[in-house]
Structures are given as C-alpha cells and as structure tokens.
C-alpha cells in the first residue's frame, strides 16, 4: 500500500494518464485484499474517471470487473450486477474467453444473491467452459464454489458436494489458500 501511495504521488505530477489510472486501480486492489471494500471503491472510481476521460480501452475491463467485485463483497447486488454486466460487454467486444468466463462468474454470484438461481447456474456453468479453455484455475475454483453454494441453497446436496470438492481439489492443487 505504501509503495502504491508513493507511486500515486509521483503519477499525479506526471502527464501519463494510463500510469495514473493503473496506480489508482492497483491501490484499490490492495484495499480490496485488506477487505476495505469502501476504500477500494474510492480508488476504482478515481481510476475509472481517468480511464473514461482519456479513453484507456486496455484497462477498462479491469476497472469494471474490480468495481463489480468490490460491490459484490459489500453485498450491494444491483451495483455488482451493473459492473459485472459492463465487464462482460467489454470482454465480449475484446473476444477474450478468460475475461468472459470471469465476468460470467461474477454475474453468477450476483444472480445467486438476487435469488435468480437458474440464471446463476447458467452463468457459472458457461463461465467455467470459457475458463477451462483459458486454463484459469483460480476463477474456475471460484465459480465451482459459487455453484456449490447455489446447489446448497436449492437443496441439491449431491451437486453441492461435487462442486465443493472440485473447488477444494483445485485450491489444494494450486495453493489457493482462501
């Protein structure tokens, strides 16, 4: 965090919008890792303002996804849904399967929390297909855990157990402690 704050001070004096947007976003990520989601959102908003003002297409996806994730962790489902949807639009425009699968996982979370279980299941399962093609085990692990939670909510315990075990196996194999 200290390094990002120092870099932010430097970038605020320079004329490089991409670097400024990046350090703002990275500072938000550090706050998110510290579970200070409201602070993370402050930095994501500042980053998004720079991205919009300077049309920085290459990092627009990350801003939308990170913002959706922070709102999701704060259980602000309407806002999370809005930003995950935006990230999916960007991912599809870029034709990036890993990004598509990651955004669909976020939308799976949103739909699950809104009680829209069929949409949640569809987004998780389609997301996993994209993530498998991209070999993104970290987000497959997250999507499988989301499916486990969904199936537990709908009293489909065999499926819940299957996806919980899948998530756990990937987490153990790749060292995803959380």
Residue 71 — pLDDT band, cuts 50, 70, 90?
A: very high
Residue 37 — pLDDT band, cuts 50, 70, 90?
A: very high
Listed residue (5, 104, 25, 129) closest to 70, CA to CA: 25
Span 14-22, average pLDDT: 94
Q: What is the pLDDT of residue 121?
A: 98
DSSP secondary structure of 69-136: HHHHHTT-HHHHHHHHHHHHHHHHHHT-HHHHHHHHHHHHHHHHHTT-HHHHHHHHHHHHHHHHHHT-
**Using an 8 Å Cβ cutoff, are 105 and 139 in contact?**
yes
Q: What is the mean pLDDT of the chain?
A: 96
pLDDT tens for 72-117 read 999 999 999 999 999 999 999 999 999 999 999 999 999 999 999 9
- Range of weakest confidence among 9-18, 67-76, 91-100, 119-128: 9-18
pLDDT tens for 136-168 read 999 999 999 999 999 999 999 999 999 999 999
């Amino acid at each position: 965090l200290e390094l990002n704050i120092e870099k932010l001070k430097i970038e605020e004096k320079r004329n490089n919008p991409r670097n400024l947007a990046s350090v703002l976003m990275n500072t938000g990520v550090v706050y998110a890792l510290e579970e200070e989601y409201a602070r993370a959102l402050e930095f994501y908003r500042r980053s998004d303002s720079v991205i919009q003002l300077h049309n920085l297409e290459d990092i627009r996806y990350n801003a939308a996804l990170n913002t959706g994730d922070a709102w999701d962790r704060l259980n602000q489902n309407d806002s999370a849904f809005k930003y995950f949807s935006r990230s999916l639009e960007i991912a599809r425009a870029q034709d990036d399967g890993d990004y598509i699968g990651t955004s669909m996982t976020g939308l799976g979370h949103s739909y699950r929390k809104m009680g829209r279980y069929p949409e949640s299941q569809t987004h998780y399962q389609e997301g996993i297909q994209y993530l498998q093609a991209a070999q993104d085990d970290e987000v497959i692990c997250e999507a499988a855990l989301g499916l486990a939670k969904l199936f537990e909510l709908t009293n489909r315990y065999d499926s819940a157990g299957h996806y919980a075990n899948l998530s756990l196996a990937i987490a153990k194999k790749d060292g995803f402690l959380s």
